[in-house]
Chains A and B, each alone.
Chain A
Amino acid sequence: MLGLSGRELTSRLILGTGGAANLRVLEEAVVASGTELVTVALRRIDPAALGTGLLDVLDRCGVSVLPNTAGCYTATDAVTVAHLAREAFGTDWVKLEVIGDERTLLPDAVELVAAAEKLVADGFTVLPYTSDDPVLARRLADLGCAAVMPAGAPIGSGLGISNPHHIALIREAVRVPVILDAGIGTASDAALAMELGCDGVLLASAVTRAREPARMARAMRLAVEAGWLARSAGRIPKRFHALPSTVDDGRPEL
């Protein structure tokens, strides 16, 4: 169970919906992923696309909506979008994104902290997309964020976890859940995130842009579970030389 702001989620995988070719593909991926929480963005309504029913699909899947503030570059914009999302979806949960650079889509730490402070004060459950900086993660946790969500690598890059040590340090630095968000390319990346001590993984492109999204969604589901089990099972220490797994006693002299 992933405890987030008083809610218990059975799945430790959060799925982003961006990048899916169509809603049918998305629905199959959501179902295969086993997720209970799915991100959506807020954009201008397109009268031509009315009734295409993203929210209906997510309802049918029985998942909750986690709105994001994607595309915001300032704290002011992100706070406004969070409030609009609360109006639109009736949830005070928000995946807070305040982007600082359009090439890397990495967060602007100063604006992110300012937006998080305001939204926490406004009663939101704030889940901030942050960089893999342990100090920034601690600041976000200290100011009342419900989790911290460090990037493994830039959004959509599929590079995996560039700095595993920092992810492990973030795990040590905060008591709130750590959810690896962004950069996942394949199942082993998601498993590694969990083995490093993350409480969950948020990914989108790795599934939605895979050749077979539903198949990859299932891979991610299993990887997150496997990584979590491996972490909690307590792995053996690494050593430089072999340690026989078969006893020497009773070995025949031939």
Chain B
Amino acid sequence: MNVTVNGRPATMAEGATVADVVCDLTGSTDPRGVAVARGGAVVPRSDWSGTALAEGDRIEVLTATQGG
């Protein structure tokens, strides 16, 4: 299944969830200070493992960075 993660194409297994994307990027299933948007909508942390990816999904995985 082809999706976009943080602007880059990614291939995920069938049945993969938002939690899998987060784990691939951070190495953790419950990383600190991380938020996810799917198609521009917030996916609450409690829904990560229950939110299955669909072909063409745009996923943003965000965290704290220095900023005024």
Contact = CB atoms under 8 A, between A and B. Distances in A.
Interface of A: 16-20, 26, 39-45, 47, 50, 54-55, 65, 67-68, 70, 80, 83-85, 87-89, 155-156, 182, 202, 204-205
Contacts of B25: 45, 47
Contacts, number: 90
Nearest to B43: A87
Interface string B25-68: 11100001111110011101100000000000000111111111
Nearest to B44: A87
Nearest to B41: A80
B68 A45 contact: no
19 contacts: A17-B66, A18-B68, A19-B66, A19-B68, A39-B67, A40-B67, A41-B65, A41-B66, A41-B68, A42-B62, A43-B65, A44-B7, A50-B26, A54-B66, A55-B32, A68-B67, A83-B42, A84-B36, A88-B34
Given A50-B27, A84-B35, A85-B35, A41 B42 contact: no
A16 B67 contact: yes
A89 B33 contact: yes
A247 B63 CA distance: 65
How many of chain B's residues touch chain A, expressed as a range? 20 to 34
Nearest to B65: A43
Main secondary structure of the interface of A (DSSP, over half): mixed
B32 to A, nearest CB: 6
